[in-house]
Amino acid sequence: MRLILQLFRNLYRHQTMILALAARDLQGRYAGTQGGILWAFVHPVAVIFIFYFFFAIGFRSQGPGNTPFILWFVSVFVPWLFFNESLTSITDSVVRNAHFIKKTVFPSEVLAIVHLMASLVPHGVFTVLLAGMLAYYHVTFHLSMLLMLYFVFCTCVLVVGVGWFLSAIQVFYRDISHGLGIGLNLLFWATPIVWSPDNLPEQYQPILRYNPLDYIIQGYRGVLVSHQLPDAGQTLYFWSVALLFLLAGAYVFGRLKPEFADVM
């Protein structure tokens, strides 16, 4: 427990450094390119267009209740992008910043928050674009839509916990990041992002509740498109899993942190 508390104290103590490193990371990602930060949006927009062309035009798919497929899909693809990008960058954060850890007494646990905050910037831009799409399709604004901020917080807690765990293990086993790419691809198709939970046989639908990302995905779609909220049981399960990941990730990171400099 002492290791976990120390980790969180360091995060509070180094707030200014976290903000500075997040700004530096965001600038450095696209340094030297002609497109700059626009590249952060080109690939996701291309993916959205491909899915739209394939499903909405090719198969004439519609969301439940005749919701336009593009709106039904993008409302959850935006949080998926945030989850995917932030977890991938956090997993590699310690290894990629080995120069800090080798030469100075550096609080490496802050790197997860640094990369999370950097990922929040493009997520915010995509959220604005999503708001424009909602207005275009004449979706009426409700105060419940502001609960999207709650699901952003849910994503942050889950990502930091899993990210701390994976980034610590990645120092010793560099295969983790390669396996993560495969795992995220599987998770994308195992989560109802491009397909509806109603497509599953009824006896298998409860299995989706064991996927904590399903809570976030359905939460975004519910508050933005269908005006539905997760029930209390789903909320309790998600926070049980998310806090377990957060505490376990903090503990593993704290235990392995003293060995980082020697291994790298």
User: What's residue 90's pLDDT?
Assistant: 95
- 177-189 residue pLDDT tens: 889 999 999 999 9
- Closest Cα partner for 206 from 237, 243, 242? 237
Tell me the mean pLDDT in the region 243-261: 91
Tell me the mean pLDDT in the region 132-161: 89
What is the spatial distance between Cα 253 and Cα 247, in angstroms, rounded to a whole number? 10
Domain map of the chain by residue range? 2-263
For residue 160, which amino acid is it? V
Strands (E), the chain: none
- 80-125 residue pLDDT tens: 999 999 999 999 999 988 887 876 678 888 999 999 998 898 888 8
pTM of the model: 0.88
User: What's residue 3's pLDDT?
Assistant: 66
Percent of the chain clearing pLDDT 70 (strictly above): 89
What 8-state DSSP symbol labels residue 194? S
Rg from Cα positions in the chain: 19
Cα pseudo-dihedral 251, 112, 116, 207, rounded to 10? -40
